[in-house]
Structure 1
Amino acid sequence: MRLILSITILLLTVGVLDARSKSRKKVTYRSTRDNKIDAQYAALIYKPVFSKAQRAYVPLRSVSVHVTIDAFGADVTLIQTFVNRGKESIEPIYVFPIEENAAVYSFTAHINNKTITAVLKEKTKAEKEYNISVEQGQTSVLLRQSKETLDTFTINVGALPPGKECQVKIQYVTELDLVEGNAIRFVVPTTIAPRYNPSLGHLQSADKTNAQYVQKTPYSMDFRARVLRSEEFKVVQVANLSHAVNASMSGESIDVSMQGIALDRDIILDIDIPPKHASPIVSVESYNEGNQHAVVLAFTRSLADFLKISKGRDESNTEFIFIVDCSGSMSEGGRIGHAREAMLLFIRSLPVGSRFNIIRFGSHYDILYKDEVLTMIYNEENAQKAETLTLSMDANFGGTELLQPLQYLKDHPPTHGRSRQIFLLTDGEISNTDQVIELCRSMSATTRIFSFGLGYSPSRALVKGLARATNGYFVFVPPDAKVDSYVGSQLGRALQPSLVNARLQWHGLSVNGSQAPQTIPPLYINDRVLVYALFAANPFDKKNASVDVMIDDHKISSIRLSDSKIRRSDTIRRLAAKALIQELEHKNRDGQGVEDRKAVEERILQLSLDHGILSAYSAFVGVEKSRSMDDGIMSDVSYIPIRVSKDDRYISEFSSLASVPVKPINDTGETLVPMPFEMTTKYSPQWFYGKLEIIATSIPSKTRPSGGFSESLDESDSVAADYDEAFVPTTTPSTLLSHDPVRWLIRQQSFNGLWKLSDSDIRTLTSGKELSAFSSSVTQNRDALSTALVIAVLESKHGQESNLWSAVVSKGRKQLLALGLNSSEVNLVIEEMKKKL
Structure 2
Amino acid sequence: MDCCGLLTLQKEPVPLKSIEVELEVRDHVATVVSTLNYENKEDKPLEAVFVFPLPGDAAVCHFSAQIGQTQIVAEVKEKQKAREEYDDALSSGQQAFLLEESDQSPDIFSLRVGSLPPGESASIRLEYVTELAVQADDGLRFCLPAVLNPRYQPQDSEDPLFQVTSVPASLVPYSLSFSARVSSPRPVSKVESNCSLDPLQYLNTDQTQATVKLATGHKFDRDVELLIYYKDAHQPTAVVEAGQASAEPGSLMGDPVVMVSLYPEFPQSVMSSTASCGEFVFLMDRSGSMDCATNNTEQKETRISSAKDTLLLLLKSLPMGCYFNIYSFGSSYEHIFPKSVEYGEKTMEEALKKVEQMKADLGGTEILESLKHIYSQPCIPTQPRQLFVFTDGEVGNTKEVIDLVKKNSGSHRCFSFGIGEGASSALINGVAKEGGGHAQFITGTDRMQPKVMQSLHFSLQPAVEDVSVTWDLPKGSTITVLSPPITSLFQGQRSLIYAQLTGQSSEAAEGCVTLKYSLAGHPSENQLHFSLRPAADSGLIVHRLAARTLICLLEMEAENNQEKEEVKKKVVQLSVQSGVSSSFTAFIVVNSDNNKEIQGPLLHRDIPMPDVYRSCTSFVCDSAAMFEEIEAEDRCLMDFCCLYSMDGEFPPAKKPLRDPLLQLVSLQKASGCWLLDPALAAALRKTNEEVEKSKPEKASSEVWATILALIWLHGFKMDAKDEWELLAAKAVSWLSAQKAPSVTECVEAGNILLGCSVQKTALGL
For Structure 1 versus Structure 2, the TM-score category normalised by the shorter chain is 0.7 to 0.9
Q: 1:273 to 1:780 in 2, by over 3 A?
A: same
SS in 2 for 1:726: coil
Q: How big is each residue's C-alpha offset from its partner over 1:715-741, in whole Å with a ceiling of 9 and x where there is no partner? A: 23xxx73xx5425xxxxxxxx4xxxxx
Please tell me whether residue 265 in structure 1 is matched to residue 222 in structure 2.
Answer: yes
Give the corresponding residue for 1:28: none
Give the corresponding residue for 2:249: none
**CA contact under 8 A between 1:142 and 1:620: conserved in structure 2?**
yes
Q: Which amino acid aligns with 1:492?
A: H
Please tell me whether residue 806 in structure 1 is matched to residue 725 in structure 2.
Answer: yes
Q: How big is each residue's C-alpha offset from its partner over 1:210-256, in whole Å with a ceiling of 9 and x where there is no partner? A: 6354451222211111122x4x2221011112334443233232423
Give the drift of 1:206: 8.6
| Distance in 2 of aligned mates of 1:772 and 1:337 | 37
Q: 1:427 to 1:538 in 2, by over 3 A?
A: farther
Q: 1:58 to 1:242 in 2, by over 3 A?
A: closer
**CA contact under 8 A between 2:291 and 2:616: conserved in structure 1?**
no
Give the corresponding residue for 1:11: none
Give the drift of 1:187: 0.5
Q: 1:410 to 1:642 in 2, by over 3 A?
A: same
Give the drift of 1:630: 4.1
SS in 1 for 2:514: strand
Structure 2 residue aligned with 1:220, among 166, 169, 175? Answer: 175
Please tell me whether residue 363 in structure 1 is matched to residue 282 in structure 2.
Answer: no
Q: Percent identity?
A: 26
SS in 1 for 2:146: coil
**CA contact under 8 A between 1:361 and 1:405: conserved in structure 2?**
yes
Structure 2 residue aligned with 1:315, among 276, 300, 303? Answer: 276
Q: Which amino acid aligns with 1:307?
A: Q
Q: 1:763 to 1:163 in 2, by over 3 A?
A: closer
**CA contact under 8 A between 2:152 and 2:364: conserved in structure 1?**
yes
Tell me the C-alpha RMSD between the 2 structures. Answer: 3.7
Q: 1:261 to 1:210 in 2, by over 3 A?
A: closer
Give the drift of 1:753: 0.9
| Distance in 2 of aligned mates of 1:279 and 1:142 | 41
Q: 1:454 to 1:544 in 2, by over 3 A?
A: closer
Q: Which amino acid aligns with 1:550?
A: K
Q: 1:360 to 1:787 in 2, by over 3 A?
A: same
Give the corresponding residue for 1:143: 99
Please tell me whether residue 329 in structure 1 is matched to residue 289 in structure 2.
Answer: yes
Deviates more, 1:257-266 or 1:559-568: 559-568
Give the corresponding residue for 2:565: 598
**CA contact under 8 A between 1:281 and 1:299: conserved in structure 2?**
yes
Structure 2 residue aligned with 1:233, among 183, 186, 189? Answer: 186
Gaps of 5+ in 2: 247-253, 294-301, 749-757
Q: Which amino acid aligns with 2:674?
A: W
Give the drift of 1:774: 10
Structure 1 residue aligned with 2:163, among 205, 209, 229? Answer: 209
Q: Which amino acid aligns with 1:813?
A: V
Give the drift of 1:265: 1.0
Q: 1:816 to 1:661 in 2, by over 3 A?
A: closer
| Distance in 2 of aligned mates of 1:80 and 1:206 | 23
Q: How big is each residue's C-alpha offset from its partner over 1:751-789, in whole Å with a ceiling of 9 and x where there is no partner? A: 211134569579879xx998999989xx96553465456
Give the drift of 1:186: 0.9
Aligned residues: 714
Give the corresponding residue for 2:315: 347
Q: Which amino acid aligns with 1:534?
A: Q
SS in 2 for 1:394: coil
**CA contact under 8 A between 1:44 and 1:640: conserved in structure 2?**
no
SS in 2 for 1:577: helix
Please tell me whether residue 90 in structure 1 is matched to residue 46 in structure 2.
Answer: yes
Q: 1:662 to 1:322 in 2, by over 3 A?
A: closer
**CA contact under 8 A between 1:451 and 1:467: conserved in structure 2?**
yes
SS in 2 for 1:224: strand
**CA contact under 8 A between 2:164 and 2:608: conserved in structure 1?**
no
| Distance in 1 of aligned mates of 2:497 and 2:422 | 28
Give the corresponding residue for 1:7: none
| Distance in 2 of aligned mates of 1:477 and 1:796 | 27
Q: 1:475 to 1:629 in 2, by over 3 A?
A: same
Please tell me whether residue 442 in structure 1 is matched to residue 407 in structure 2.
Answer: yes
Give the drift of 1:551: 1.4
Q: How big is each residue's C-alpha offset from its partner over 1:115-153, in whole Å with a ceiling of 9 and x where there is no partner? A: 221112222332232222222111122211112112111
Q: How big is each residue's C-alpha offset from its partner over 1:255-284, in whole Å with a ceiling of 9 and x where there is no partner? A: 23332312221001111122x345212222
**CA contact under 8 A between 1:57 and 1:640: conserved in structure 2?**
no
Q: Which amino acid aligns with 2:496?
A: L
**CA contact under 8 A between 2:195 and 2:214: conserved in structure 1?**
no
**CA contact under 8 A between 2:458 and 2:490: conserved in structure 1?**
yes
**CA contact under 8 A between 1:653 and 1:660: conserved in structure 2?**
no
Gaps of 5+ in 1: 1-35, 46-54, 665-673, 676-703, 728-735, 737-741
Give the drift of 1:656: 5.9
Give the drift of 1:589: 2.2
Give the corresponding residue for 1:197: 153
Give the corresponding residue for 2:23: 67
**CA contact under 8 A between 1:193 and 1:206: conserved in structure 2?**
no
**CA contact under 8 A between 2:327 and 2:333: conserved in structure 1?**
yes
Q: Which amino acid aligns with 1:380?
A: E
Give the corresponding residue for 1:110: 66
Give the corresponding residue for 1:731: none
Deviates more, 1:213-222 or 1:73-82: 213-222
**CA contact under 8 A between 1:507 and 1:547: conserved in structure 2?**
yes
| Distance in 2 of aligned mates of 1:783 and 1:581 | 58
| Distance in 1 of aligned mates of 2:603 and 2:202 | 50
Give the TM-score normalised by the residue count of structure 2: 0.84
**CA contact under 8 A between 2:663 and 2:683: conserved in structure 1?**
no
| Distance in 1 of aligned mates of 2:260 and 2:39 | 45
Q: 1:661 to 1:357 in 2, by over 3 A?
A: closer
Give the drift of 1:173: 0.8
